[in-house]
Amino acid sequence: MTKPKVLILRAPGTNCDQETGFAFEKAGAVATYVHINQLMEDTSVLADSQILCLPGGFSYGDDIAAGRVLASQMQSKLAGAIAEFHDAGKLVLGICNGFQILIKTGFLLPADDAGLPATLTWNNHGRFIDTWVNLKADDDKCVFLKDIDQIYLPIAHAEGKFVARDESVLADLKSNHQLALTYCRADGSNGADLSFPDNPNGSTANIAGVCSDSGRIFGLMPHPERFIDPTHHPRWTREPQGDQGQGMKLFRNAVEFFG
């Protein structure tokens, strides 16, 4: 099988690109690192890739709002090229800051014709949080979550609270299986009463990740690339973790999609 190629998009402030590329390569892909300026000058590099990944970090120092500057660049310079990339049956992944960027483009995730359907804003407690969370997956549609029911991953963000424009947007996302990842308790339950620290940022409906209607665009606040080896787990010396970290499954699913 020819290894799928992953384009890791970088910008000033991006700081999880190498870890994310390593995770994809460990899963069987080939990673290339492309700066946003290079991509805006020549979008042909997209044609040679099967996966576009926006990694975590603090693009442009989170000036104005997290992910806003890079999202504006993509909206004004790359909307057509990325739409063509997606229409060709390819995958797009946004992790943490990458999720913020996907949301704030207004045309990638989620998308409708009435403006910005949702946003990611400041955590309820108003500060940066760095911890581990339990997550419930809906694998009905999302390519990256195939055969995943529950997963445990680290988070690190200040603006991770998902807020929908209105109840109708939320209802549509839920009925269409686009609420792909939600915060939950260790036993997998995640009712409306979920609160801190189980829902670490106050996200509406406990939302931690959303996919597109196609299931091929996925954004999530947790960092799967930070748990690809058993030793990444904070209790790896006390609790058996298996042969690989739980985050590896997301990257393997992306690679195997092209198998």
Residues involved in catalysis: 96, 223, 225
The two three-digit tokens of residue 100, written as one number: 């913020």
CA distance 66 to 102: 11
Q: Supply the DSSP symbol for 66.
A: T
Q: Which among 165, 145, 38 has a CA at the least distance from the CA of 8?
A: 38
The two three-digit tokens of residue 226, written as one number: 């930070």
Rg (CA), the chain: 17
The two three-digit tokens of residue 207, written as one number: 């939302």
114: burial class by Cβ within 10 Å (0-12, 13-18, 19+)? exposed
